[in-house]
């Protein structure tokens, strides 16, 4: 059984990492790699998708460093593996003469290649100069009108009455500018209308009932019995009743995990899901709770794959010693006193 680890690239470039393989006895020529996703038993395709049939990828660049195989891998492998941190992957290596595999460990925080477009930190300068902002040209100053000399003052003559001069001055004067319409008038009308509506409502709902003849109150009808809770599981969103009534596995799993169920409760609903062949619920609840640090759930999940305790006809298609060892290690990491997990782990390791 191989020990395989994926760590971030030395330069920290998103979408790139370093693959380390412990225990490969063969060489580095003609190596091929397959990736199995344990939760749904699908294999990684060349385009980053997942298929039910095994797909082998030629992998170059792995070099021997003592007992290790070490090499850089790019987005074709890193992006699908870090897309869902709750998934568990099993990698298989082969060449012309032999084949071996093991469960992948993703160590540290590895970013996918889409993270290249993340915003820059505030303490770093911008990577390109900002685009210039077009400044509208300043308007050219208008030419000042030519100075107009005042007309000479004429001395009124006896044959030209003063009233005629004033009449000419009146017609020569510019017309006054029209006044702007008053803008507060619509607001005042609206306030008056609202006040009228408020007074009418006050009379209708407060004063009017007092003027009517009181009538005897009719006896309150007996409330009909509330219908039974449907498909929600009542007060227990992580019980068997909620599982039976839930049409969507993902919605049920989310509601179950939000209720923070106890370990025994999770194991009960997993057993119910196995009986109803809802394997998606079984695999996701097992993996999520085990990865979250529940040692009992991890131990139970390991026994599903352990060749000694494997039961055919369930949601796990076949026994897998490597996968069982992986979950036994997680159980021991959270509960070092689990002697059964330690014993089975030692028996499964070569």
Task: Please report the domains of the chain, with CATH numbers, ordered by start residue.
Answer: 3-112 (2.60.40), 240-348 (1.25.40)
| CB-based contact 291:86 (threshold 8 Å) | yes
Q: Which residue carries 């060489």 as its tokens? A: 27
Q: What is the distance between the alpha carbons of residues 189 and 216, in angstroms, rounded to a whole number?
A: 43
- Provide the pLDDT for residue 117: 56
Identify which has the larger pLDDT, 161 or 64: 64
User: pLDDT (tens digit, 9 = 90+) per residue, 169-219?
Assistant: 444 445 445 455 556 677 778 888 888 887 777 666 666 655 444 434 344
CA distances from 141 to 111, 121, 136, 241 (A): 59, 46, 15, 82
Exposure on the CB side of residue 348, measured as CA atoms within 13 A: 27
Q: Among candidates 102, 112, 113, which has minimal Cα distance to 5?
A: 102
Name the strand (E) or helix (H) holding 330: helix 321-334
| CB-based contact 279:268 (threshold 8 Å) | no
| CB-based contact 37:48 (threshold 8 Å) | no
Res. 111: pLDDT tops 90: no
CA distances from 175 to 102, 170, 178, 180 (A): 97, 10, 9, 15
| CB-based contact 345:1 (threshold 8 Å) | no
Q: Among candidates 34, 4, 21, 18, which has minimal Cα distance to 103?
A: 4
Number of other CB atoms surrounding residue 249 within 10 Å: 16
Q: What is the distance between the alpha carbons of residues 99 and 71, in angstroms, rounded to a whole number?
A: 19
Res. 134: pLDDT tops 60: no
Res. 335: pLDDT tops 90: yes
Share of the chain above pLDDT 90, in %: 27
User: pLDDT (tens digit, 9 = 90+) per residue, 304-315?
Assistant: 999 999 999 889
Q: What is the distance between the alpha carbons of residues 163 and 160, in angstroms, rounded to a whole number?
A: 9
Give the chain's mean pLDDT.
Answer: 76
Res. 303: pLDDT tops 90: yes
Q: What is the distance between the alpha carbons of residues 269 and 262, in angstroms, rounded to a whole number?
A: 11
Q: What is the distance between the alpha carbons of residues 270 and 262, in angstroms, rounded to a whole number?
A: 12
Lowest mean pLDDT among 69-73, 201-205, 247-251, 269-273: 201-205
Could you tell me which residues come within 8 angstroms of residue 338 by beta carbon, excluding any fewer than 6 positions away?
295, 299, 331, 332
CA distances from 193 to 129, 205, 207, 208, 229 (A): 57, 18, 20, 21, 48
| CB-based contact 348:321 (threshold 8 Å) | yes
Q: What residues does 3 pair with on adjacent strands?
A: 22
CA distances from 163 to 60, 152, 174, 196 (A): 111, 19, 19, 56
Lowest mean pLDDT among 31-45, 106-120, 244-258: 106-120
């Amino acid at each position: 059984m191989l020990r395989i680890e994926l760590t971030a690239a030395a330069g920290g470039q998103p979408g790139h990492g370093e693959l380390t393989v412990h225990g490969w006895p063969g060489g580095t020529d003609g190596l091929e790699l397959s990736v199995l996703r344990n939760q749904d038993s699908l294999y990684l395709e060349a385009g980053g998708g997942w298929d039910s049939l095994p797909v082998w990828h030629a992998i170059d660049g792995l070099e021997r460093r003592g007992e290790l195989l070490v090499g850089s891998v790019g987005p074709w492998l890193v992006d699908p593996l870090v897309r869902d941190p709750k998934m568990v992957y099993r990698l298989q290596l082969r060449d012309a003469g032999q084949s071996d595999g093991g469960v992948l460990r993703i160590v540290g925080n590895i970013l996918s290649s889409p993270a290249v477009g993340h915003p820059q930190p505030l303490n770093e300068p911008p990577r390109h100069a900002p685009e210039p902002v077009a400044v509208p040209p300043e308007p050219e100053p208008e030419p000042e009108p030519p100075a107009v000399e005042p007309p000479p003052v004429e001395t009124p003559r006896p044959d030209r009455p003063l009233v005629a001069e004033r009449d000419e001055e009146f017609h020569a004067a510019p017309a006054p500018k029209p006044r702007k319409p008053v803008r507060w008038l619509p607001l005042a009308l609206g306030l008056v209308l609202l006040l009228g509506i408020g007074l009418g409502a006050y009379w209708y709902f407060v004063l009017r009932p007092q003027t009517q003849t009181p009538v005897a109150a009719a006896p309150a009808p007996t409330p009909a019995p509330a219908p039974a809770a449907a498909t929600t599981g009542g007060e227990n969103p992580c019980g068997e009743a909620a599982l039976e009534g839930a049409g969507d596995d993902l919605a049920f799993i989310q509601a179950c995990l939000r209720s923070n169920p106890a370990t025994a409760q999770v194991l009960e609903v997993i057993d119910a899901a196995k009986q109803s062949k809802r394997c998606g619920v079984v695999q996701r609840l097992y993996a999520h709770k085990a990865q979250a640090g529940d040692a009992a759930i991890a131990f139970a999940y390991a026994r599903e794959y352990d060749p000694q305790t494997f039961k055919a006809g369930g949601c796990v298609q076949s026994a897998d010693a490597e996968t069982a060892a992986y979950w036994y290690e997680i159980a021991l990491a959270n509960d070092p006193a689990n002697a059964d997990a330690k014993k089975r782990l030692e028996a499964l390791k070569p």
